[in-house]
Structures are given as C-alpha cells and as structure tokens.
Amino acid sequence: MRLDNCLDQFIVHLGAERRLSPNTVSAYSRDLNQLLAFGQEAGYWDRETELCGELFTRSALRHWLAEMQDLERTTRARKLTAARTFFRYLCQEGLLASNPTDGLSAPKLGRSLPEYLSPDEVEKLLAAPQLNTPAGLRDQAILELLYSAGLRVGELVGLELTDVDLDTGFIRVLGKGQKERIVPIGSYAKASIEEYLAFGYAKLGGARWLFVNNRGSRLTTRAVEQFVEKYAKVALPGRGVTPHTLRHCFATHLLEAGADLRSVQELLGHSSLSTTQIYTHVRAAHLLSVYKDAHPRAR
C-alpha cells in the first residue's frame, strides 16, 4: 500500500471507527500531511512508494521534531501524538513491524491554571442578553446551560430536543469519543430553556436541534463563541471569556462549595481523574487567597 493511501485509510479510521470529532480528525490530517511533506522534501521517503518497514527511521523523526523547535511545546506534543497514533495504527494493521516513535520523548508541558470567573462575574454575564427577542432568549438559555451543566461548546450545539427532559431536570450529552452521559441542570437553566422553547424556538424555525440560528439550522461552535465574547465585552469589559470559561467556572465553583472530585469528573465527562485534578490547584489558589485575606498573621 502506498504511503498516501495509508494516511487516507487512517483518517477514515479515525472518523468512522474511533468516532473522533471532525476538528480532531482535521488536526490529525493536517499534522500528518505536514510530517509526510517534510520527509518527502528531506529525502527520507517518497509518498508514492509502497510502505515498507524501513521507510520510517527514528533519526528522520528526530530531525522532524528538531525542525519544530520554534513552535509552542503544546503544538509539538500534539504533532508527535498524531505521528505516534498513526504509526501504532500501521503496526496494528500489519503494515509496519515496529513503531518508529517508540523512545521519542514529547516536550514536557506545564499545566496552567484555567481561567475562571467569580460567582458575581458569572451573574453579570448571565444577565447580559436582552430577553425581548427570540435570539436573546436563546442566548440566555445557552449561557445558563453552559454554566449549569459544564458542557463543552461542541456538546451544547449537538443537543437535540429529545436530549432534554425538563420534567426530571436532566439532559443527555454526547461527549468526546461518542461517550454518553446524563447531566443534571439547575432551576435557572431549566427556566431559561422553558422560556426559550415557549417564546423563541418556533420563531427561529427550530425543528430538531435545541439551539438554532435565525434560519432554524443548528448553531455552530464558532457562533456560540462569538456571542459569548460579545456579551462578555458588555458585562465584563477587559475579561477574556469563552464558552469553555463557563465550564471552568462550573467545576471550580462546585469544588469550592465542597463537591468531591469524582463527582465533578463524572459531570464533566472526563475519562481520567488526572484531567479533573487541575481544578484542585484552582481550589488551592482560592483557599490561599482566602487565607491571606482572613488570617491576621498571613501577610
């Protein structure tokens, strides 16, 4: 099988079998095409040749990584992950005898604390939409739901009407890797969704998706990001706020109120507890701030 054909087959595998998101598949395709183009230009391989066990060498891949030294560490780590996953797939398919990325170390990544808002700042943001238009009702319902359920923006725009049970106060969410979880929503989010469905949804021409644009089509993630930024400029000038900020607020405020880490992990849909543990650092930073403000000998 030719090298280009192998890559095409792998990209299909990511979407059809592993069910990764279109954005993730696109990132893998972009990174791997960059790798193959580098090897072609450097003379390490020909993309038109048949794949063989000697085609990829560790020295070639080290050269590729060295060429990316000016890029951010996160970018280099992502590209190496794409290559590692691609070669692992080729090994599983019997097209390579061994994975040439074995033994290559990814750049060490420092874990930065996620940005989040105080409860008062969240209240200001949630009050920003004007409720005298169908779009305003929709936008407030979206903001309330992002904060109430800690959804990723992709999960939010993928909600269908049938995924929401307002009688019980739960929604069905399809997360990363097509993993389904059931998440509770608070009374404010429930009331906002009810008002949107009663007075805004039909006027926007909605039929299947919960959140739609002015033509009745499903909202895009970019559209949600844009109006969150718009409301943040009005309610919280100078603060950089994205839909993911509200997810961080959801987790941080739960932990600050005494929720246990395992429950927050399940609500967020994290497959690993280590991913959720970043919020323990946020909580620790909050506790340190409280300590410095309250203890007479802290300063």
d(CA 150, CA 158): 14
- 84 a catalytic residue: no
Distance CA 206, CA 214 (A): 9
C-alpha to C-alpha distances, 223 to 78, 99, 150, nearest whole angstrom = 26, 41, 18
Q: Is 247 a catalytic residue?
A: yes
> Pick from 240, 246, 242: which is nearest to 228 by CA?
242
Question: Which one of the listed residues 84, 124, 176, 239 is annotated catalytic?
Answer: 176
Q: Which of 293, 284, 236 is nearest to 119 (CA)?
A: 236
Residue 2, SS3 per DSSP: strand
Give CA 192 to chain center in angstroms: 24
B/e letters for 223-233, b = 16+ CB within 10 Å, e = fewer, are ebeebbeebbe
State yes or no: is 279 an active-site residue.
yes
Catalytic residue from among 152, 190, 248, 253: 152
Is 281 catalytic? The answer is no
The CA-atom distances, in angstroms, between 2 and each of 5, 13, 43 are 5, 17, 16
Q: Tokens for 56?
A: 């990829």
Among 21, 22, 1, 9, CA closest to 89: 9
Q: Which position among 84, 270, 283, 286 bears the catalytic label?
A: 270
Cα separation of 141 and 211, whole Å?
Answer: 9
Choice among 79, 247, 248, 253 that is catalytic: 247
HEC states along 136-203? HHHHHHHHHHHHHHCCCHHHHHCCEHHHEECCCCEEEEECHHHCEEEEECCHHHHHHHHHHHHHCCHH
The yes-or-no answer on residue 78 being catalytic is no
Point out which residues pair with 289 in neighbouring strands: none
Q: Is 152 a catalytic residue?
A: yes
Positions annotated as catalytic residues are 152, 176, 244, 247, 270, 279
